[in-house]
Amino acid sequence: MISPSTLLINNVKINLTLTSFFVRCTHSSIRNGLVGMVGRTPLVRLNKISDETGCDILAKAEMCNGGGSVKDRAALFLIQDAIRKGQLKPGGTVVEGTAGNTGIGLAHMCLSMGFKCVIFMPNNQSQEKIDILRTLGAEVTTVPVCPWDNPNNYNHHARRFAESLKNAVWTNQFDNRANRLAHIETTGPEIWEETQGKVDAVTFGTGTGGTLSGVGTYLKEKNRHIKVVLADPQGSVLYNYFKHGKLERTPGDSITEGIGQGRLTENLKGSPIDDACVVIDTEAVNMTFKLLDEEGFLVGSTSGLNVASAYRLAKEMGRGHTIVTCLCDSGHRYHAKLFNKDVLRKRGLLQTLPEQYHKYLHG
Ligand code: PMP
């Protein structure tokens, strides 16, 4: 029986209220198709890092989402939002500008719901993400890297393409608050319930700002003393904005993908951020390899950056605290880049990578 708040698309029940899908699933261990594999990821204790700092450093294992990254949460909510607003109807096309992971999430959802998927990406992202998107049947166009205020920025390509098509929607992950809502309604409550409210701080790198902002908003409502820390990669403006009120880039160009910003997105505006830090590539990459070598996690560099920030926070806050972050995606998406000797050497990162990690490199 389908209630008036749900829509049947390709035999998949799409919930239009955005909330009750997850509520319904909380009471069942059976997941509702691919869409049911979004959220309720494991919260894992990073044992070695926790023991070293005397804190509990916990991470949501977001690579366990059905599409393999934290962005599956936003992808599902963006599609639900477009359907609810009548912007996307059966057989329609979802168009998005993305560093790749949101696109992969959208492409999975589109297959499960019978939509088409068109993706625009900057041309400096990993080949693996492009390959996955094409395997998922998405139409992918890569465009030269340029800032938001340039009409050739990948997001404007996506907007214009959607405008030129019938029954197409530009989901606009950066400025559509359905993205933040995904984390207010899923990631935040999951962290609160899984820690039974025993959480002292959260820290995340931000791309759209959806994760940090949504988790921060939810947890602050539960307990305003929970510290929310933005972890910025090198070359982004967010650290200087939140520390000094200036949209000024820190030096460098980061190996991380999908995080760092040149502007304040709608999803980041008004976020309850207590502090910000910069995690330079050396630190993020070294932590990515520490996670591999000591904990057995093969993750991407934004996960390394997140955990490096949590580690620093643990040292600052002192023993006995609980700090939560996330492992955003798997290292499988970056084999040819992050785990390649030549790439790391050219970026000056091989020279700072501890010798014991070199055995994990190829090329
Ligand atoms: N890590 C990775 C690998 C990502 O792709 C993204 C999003 N592009 C993020 C972190 C940041 O997530 P958010 O957009 O919610 O800030």
Tens of pLDDT, residues 105-151 = 999 999 999 999 999 999 999 999 999 999 999 999 999 999 999 99
pLDDT given for residue 29 in this prediction: 80
Q: Are 251 and 236 in contact (CB under 8 A)?
A: no
Quote the ipTM score: 0.99
pLDDT band, very low/low/confident/very high, at 327 (cuts 50, 70, 90): very high
> Rounded distance, CA 102 to CA 205, Å?
15
For residue 105, the SS3 value is helix
State in Å: Cα 71 to ligand 1 middle.
Answer: 6
Q: In testing the pocket of ligand 1, which one of 328, 330, 337 has its CB within 8 Å of the most ligand atoms?
A: 328
pLDDT given for residue 26 in this prediction: 52
Q: Are 9 and 113 in contact (CB under 8 A)?
A: yes
- For ligand 1, what atom is nearest to the CA of residue 300? 3
The residue type found at 103 is G
Catalytic residue among 71, 116, 129, 227: 71
Share of the chain above pLDDT 70, in %: 92
Q: How much is the average pLDDT of 333-360? A: 98
**Which residue's alpha carbon is nearest to atom 5 within ligand 1?**
258
> Rounded distance, CA 28 to CA 140, Å?
36
Instruction: Give the single-character DSSP code of 333.
Output: G
Binding-site residues, ligand 1, Cβ < 6 A: 69-71, 99, 101, 205-211, 257-259, 300, 302, 328-329
> Rounded distance, CA 359 to CA 62, Å?
26
Question: Which residues are 229's β-sheet partners?
Answer: 203, 275
State in Å: Cα 102 to ligand 1 middle.
Answer: 8
pLDDT given for residue 11 in this prediction: 65
**pTM, two decimal places:** 0.94
The torsion of the CA quartet 102, 157, 160, 69, rounded to 10 degrees, works out to: 0
User: Residue 198: enclosing H or E segment and its boundaries?
Assistant: none
- For ligand 1, what atom is nearest to the CA of residue 207? 16
On the question of pLDDT at 178 being above 80, the answer is yes
Residue 71 among the catalytic residues: yes
H helices present in the chain, as ranges: 20-26, 47-53, 71-84, 101-113, 127-135, 154-163, 178-182, 188-194, 210-222, 238-244, 281-290, 301-317, 335-338, 341-346
For residue 326, the SS3 value is strand
Q: What is the pLDDT of residues 9-47, one digit of tens each?
A: 666 666 554 443 443 445 568 999 999 999 999 999 999
**Which residue's alpha carbon is nearest to atom 7 within ligand 1?**
258
Look-up of token digits 């993205």: 179
> Rounded distance, CA 322 to CA 12, Å?
38
